[in-house]
Amino acid sequence: MLAQGRAVLVTEDPPTIQLPYEVDLPLGRQRREEEKIGDGRSILLHICCGPCSTYAIKRLREEGFRVSGLWYNPNVHPFSEHERRLASLESYVGSVDLPLIGEEGYDMLQFLRVIVGHETYGERCRLCYEMRLTRTAEVAARDGFDAMTTTLLISPHQDQGLIREIGEAVAKKQGVVFHFENLRRGWSERGRMTREHKLYRQQYCGCIYSEWERHAGVDIAEVLSELRNG
């Protein structure tokens, strides 16, 4: 299909394609899709930004979960960008009646201390996922949620396999279930919903490193190598 131009490759791992047309699913598959796997259970959804929350909230509700959101993103720099993304999310969750838990404070200093020495893309992202998902698991356990998950699972720019691995590990430690599903199939719907609700669309992932890479096209691994070689 890719060779014939009948689909667009979204990510190679896991393999995800996007079709430019609607597909009628076989009846058995449709039934499975319609099963209410949430079954009224409560789930805490870690939310990275308004756009990524759109499809995730809709999908989890369709599955029968009682969804609450958690904003905990000390990786978003500078503070004004953090506040802009949060304000956009607050306006969206208000419009869809979603309870949002906002953790006190802004842990930018803690984030930077964890990342120093691990600034390359991928290495720093592992630590970033761990920090955000650990807090999510702690809040889920503290507030008695049945399960937790994260909007990070929708982005083709994030390492979905690693997010799943970390999510399951930190959730287990707190005695909470990590709910995994490949939200990437909703990536195009996320775009449509973001435009429909006129949500703020950020231009970089979040941290100062990603902002530098995005706007100056630098390769931090190369910069670090030059530093090491004097």
Q: Are 181 and 153 in contact (CB under 8 A)?
A: yes
Do the bridges between strand 8-11 and strand 16-18 make them parallel or antiparallel, or are there none, so unpaired?
antiparallel
CA 103 to chain centre: 17
Of 18-26, 28-36, 121-129, 182-190, the window that binds ligand SF4 (rule: CB under 6 A) is: 121-129
Tell me 185's DSSP state.
Answer: G
Q: Distance between CA 213 and CA 228 in Å, rounded?
A: 19
Residue 88 touches ligand SF4, criterion: CB under 6 A:
no
Number of residues that bind ligand SF4 (CB under 6 A): 9
Contact between residue 204 and residue 121 where contact means Cβ atoms under 8 Å apart: no
Q: Cα separation of 7 and 156, whole Å?
A: 16
Residues in 57-76 that interact with ligand SF4 by CB under 6 A: 75
Per-residue binder mask for ligand SF4 (CB under 6 A), 186-205, x = binder = -------------------x
Does position 206 interact with ligand SF4 (CB under 6 A)? The reply is yes
Q: Does 51 bind ligand SF4 (CB under 6 A)?
A: no
Six-digit token string for 189 = 């719907």
What character string, x for contact with ligand SF4 (CB under 6 A) and - otherwise, covers 145-164?
Answer: --------------------
Report the residue number, 65 or 209, with the smaller CB distance to ligand SF4. 209
Q: Residue 110 in contact with residue 128, Cβ under 8 Å?
A: no
CB of 115 to ligand SF4, least distance (A): 7
Residue with tokens 């805490």: 44
184 makes contact with ligand SF4 (CB under 6 A): no
Q: Which is nearer to ligand SF4, 124 or 135 (CB)?
A: 124
Contact residues for ligand SF4, defined by CB under 6 A: 75, 124-125, 128, 205-207, 209-210
